[in-house]
Amino acid sequence: MKETKILIKSVKLKNFMCHKNFKIDFSKPITCICGVNGSGKSAVMIALGILFGKTAASMERGNSYRSLIRSETQMAVIEVTLNNYLNLKSSFYQVPYGDEITIIKQLHFKGTTDIKVIIEGKAKRLKKYEMDNIMFEYGLNLANPLNFLTQEESKKILNVKKTSDLYDFFYVGTEFKKLDEDIRICGIETKEMISKITETKNKQVILSKQLEVLNKNIDFMNQDYESLLEQVHKEEQWHLIFEMENEKKELETKLDRYQAEENILINKIDKISKEQTPQQKLSDLTEINNKIDKVEVDYEKLTKDYKDIVNQYEEKKIQLEKVRQRSNKKQLEEEFDELTFNINEAKNKIKDLEKQNDDLNEMVYEENLNNQNVSKASDVIRRELHLIANNNSNNPALDKVLKSFNLINEEIKRMSFKDEVIGPIVDYIELKEQKWYKAISGCLSKSLNNYIVFNIDDREKLNQLFKEKKLQFPILLLQSKNKFKNLREPSSQYKTVYSVLKINKDSIVNALITYHNIEQIILIEDRQEAYKVIESQPTNVDCAFILTGDRIKMIGKYLSDNRDREMGFYYFEDSKSREKDLKNQLSNLKTKNEYTNLRKELENEIRNYRNVVRNCENELKRVTPELDSFKIVRDEDLDMMERKMQIINKQKTNMKSKKEILHQNLIDLKNEKSKIQSQNDQINDQISNYFKVKNQMINDVRVEMRMIEENKRIDQIALEAKKTQIKIKSKELGERTNFRSKDKLMEDKIFLKQKIMEVKELGNKDLMIQNKEKLTEEILLLTDNINSFDNLLNVTLNTINMREEKRNEIINVKTKEAIREFNIQTNKSGYDGSLEFDHVNKLLDLKMRVHNSSILGNKNTLSGGEKSFASVCFLLSLWKSFVCPVKVLDEFDVFMDPLNRKNAIKALFDFVKQENIQLILITPLNLSDLVDEMCEIKKLEKIER
């Protein structure tokens, strides 16, 4: 058994919790502090926790140290004496602490706390890092619940129900959590160091480049750069000669090509000229024309004779009818009077109708003018529909605006601005419902082509760009990019402009809310419903838009229904919507011929009355001579007239038959002539087309030859000029020498001129050498910094590796040791316990088989005493792997039955004897049966308040 060294020798309390003036000494490895409730047992543990880094809140003793100061006092004092068996000394005061280290902590009711240490008999301020060093050297980690188990921590272990909560106790107590946190922080620090190293290396590269340039400048100052320039000029002249020689070769090649092309064209003309004309004979029309002429003469004569006999027959027929009717003079006079009346009445009607017609002329003119406008508008719409059908194009006016947007956006990408430039606004907006494209375009028409900037300089720069491109788009200057909150929106039953828009920028939302109140503009499909809603004046509604783009709004007491002036296009319109609208417009464009038709009716009516006048006058001409020569016809004359009528009718029938036969012969002859004429026309067309094509081909070839001859003449002149130039230049430059390529020469020339200018600006060579030395020193300093950062980075990476190794040791080694130790401790008392770890999901389940039960239950199935005993075994299993020289347990045994309590205490005593630690147990229970040479019992009496 190892020799036990007692670390904490005494605790002294003044005005701390319930103690006015209290001291307790620790002389054995195990100290059991007992006493009734209210005797101040836990105050000893709380004092140790406060001194060694825990807070009052972490021990559930109030929110601050004030709650630990005895009532009616202003200051509490905690004094703890440690056994300095490691012979530590103060690094700040550079003196040994002595055999003992006495630490004093003062808690003030008002003000901060003080912590002091007794050095050479005097209380001196103890620095935090020295306190941390003492705790580190002695391994005092009382912030760990494994080493410092308060009443509340004991209850948590006993009452924990979730396996994740039990794992948290393990996670914190084994310093697993601290290792994870250290690895995370070191990872962040590693990234920061790598960033600093990269930044320093980049700076070193920049300075090295500056040094390289400076060295080149110094070297250049020692050269004769005038002769270098002269050499560059000479090489440039030789390059000009080579270019002219190449041009000369190209001209010679072109002339050869022209000659070859000319020969090809000459052969082509010869071939076309020798092609034979198609031979087709035309049919002679003389014979058939003679036949047609003869038949037409016979037909005309017969037609005239037929007409005469028909007239003769009709006259005889009329005379016969009149004779049969026994007409008299009185009937003719009545007929004469009626015809005269009808003529006069018709003439008066014609006069009235002509006056109405004159009145209609102006209205017909206006109607025709309107129809012309309708026709033009229809043609425009048809052309646009044709464009959409063939090119899938939107409105040409919209295409023009979008083209301007693209031009501006390309320029913005190439330019540099202080802040973000957004625009046009329409590019950042999408419609959730396409049917509202007219309403949204009309509502936001004044803002959709706007651009947004966030400072005056960017606005001026963008405005200058618009002027250069001769474009005018509004520019909005906004102060904030944060989205407005607490919008005053209407009831959710209304669909708003804001709700149908998908806007990609909060700043655009702000602009549209500010300038258009889009959150208060509602959308209603039906116009009458929109009237009703707006007239009811709902809360937070500015106006309404309908599908056609019309705006409905209350102005004073009156309802306004209007539409803003249209631009000829809609921003959110697609091809299908545009095509549908154009077709609707086209269907509504109809010509009107109301007055034109009315005038035609009048003209027809006038024409009819004129026919009446003409017919009546003709009839009057017939009646008048009859009336003048009226006489009574005899009966015997009637028989004679009927016989003559029969003869004339027979002659008429024969003539009609002959006339029809001649007419059919004439038709047949004309059809035959037409067929022959059509064939002759086709032959003539073929011959004409042949000569036309042939002549056109020859003319085209001759035009091409003239162009070749002209090009040949021009290139021949250019060739002679090039030869002369090459001869003169070569003579001026003399013998050819080796020279650089043209690109290399141009690069060296630019570099040479830049260097000459730089050298002239740099001036003094000594000053340049001083700058060189300064840059060299800075580069060396940066190299040292990089090495320092690399060393620090290696240390940090080693630290991460060490922490990861320790974490892996906990997972792979110490966890298994804890499982084995827990099973050993429970087996000593006849139980069969096990620990099940899930490090991935951070779960820990404690299971134990009791009373020879065949069922292995988890912690929640155990009795209170069994839970307490299991908790002690759990602590012991972890203590074995995670060492601390002092362990403090408060009320660890309150729920144990005597047997489990006895076994638990024995296990604790055995652990202390084996592991060389100091154990402080605090319990309200009877300790009369605790008899051990390593244990001392401190019983506290109840304190009167």
Q: Are 151 and 23 part of one and the same domain?
A: yes
pLDDT at residue 861, rounded to an integer = 61
Q: Please answer whether residues 567 and 448 qualify as being in contact, where contact means their C-beta atoms are separated by less than 8 angstroms.
A: no
Q: Are 509 and 656 part of one and the same domain?
A: no
Q: Are 406 and 310 part of one and the same domain?
A: no
Would you state the torsion angle of the CA atoms of residues 146, 148, 154, 156, taken in this order, to the nearest 10 degrees? -70
How many structural domains compose the chain?
3
Number of H helices, E strands in the chain: 21, 25
Question: What domain range is 262 assigned to?
Answer: 245-328+645-736
Question: Which of 547, 544, 549 is CA-nearest to residue 533?
Answer: 544
Whether 649 maps to a domain, the answer reads yes
Whether 817 maps to a domain, the answer reads no
The one-letter code for the residue type at 96 is: P
Q: Are 156 and 65 part of one and the same domain?
A: yes
Q: Please answer whether residues 790 and 197 qualify as being in contact, where contact means their C-beta atoms are separated by less than 8 angstroms.
A: yes
CA angle 515, 521, 524 (to 5 degrees): 150
Q: Are 314 and 435 part of one and the same domain?
A: no
Question: Which of 571, 568, 574, 530 is CA-nearest to residue 552?
Answer: 530
Residue 901 to residue 904: CA distance in whole angstroms = 5
Q: Are 564 and 658 part of one and the same domain?
A: no
Whether 360 maps to a domain, the answer reads no
pLDDT at residue 859, rounded to an integer = 57
Whether 230 maps to a domain, the answer reads no
Residues 6+ apart with CB under 8 A from 374: 589, 590, 591
Whether 934 maps to a domain, the answer reads yes
Whether 434 maps to a domain, the answer reads yes
Q: Are 554 and 438 part of one and the same domain?
A: yes
The one-letter code for the residue type at 12 is: K
Token digits of residue 346: 């018709």
Residue 472 to residue 178: CA distance in whole angstroms = 63
- The pairing of beta strand 886-890 with beta strand 148-149: parallel
Question: Which of 94, 22, 75, 81 is CA-nearest to residue 51?
Answer: 81
Domain end among 544, 573, 602:
573
pLDDT at residue 633, rounded to an integer = 46
Domain end among 711, 736, 761:
736
Q: Are 136 and 266 part of one and the same domain?
A: no
Whether 253 maps to a domain, the answer reads yes
Q: Are 560 and 420 part of one and the same domain?
A: yes
Residues of the chain where predicted confidence (pLDDT) is lower than 50:
1, 326-327, 391-393, 631-635, 855
Domain end among 672, 703, 736:
736
pLDDT at residue 566, rounded to an integer = 62
pLDDT at residue 522, rounded to an integer = 94
Whether 75 maps to a domain, the answer reads yes
Q: Model's pTM, two decimal places?
A: 0.38
pLDDT at residue 755, rounded to an integer = 67
CA angle 796, 802, 806 (to 5 degrees): 145
Domain holding 134: CATH number?
A: 3.40.50.300
Q: Are 36 and 123 part of one and the same domain?
A: yes
Sign of torsion, CA 176 177 182 183?
A: positive
pLDDT at residue 941, rounded to an integer = 82
Q: Are 569 and 657 part of one and the same domain?
A: no
Q: Are 306 and 410 part of one and the same domain?
A: no
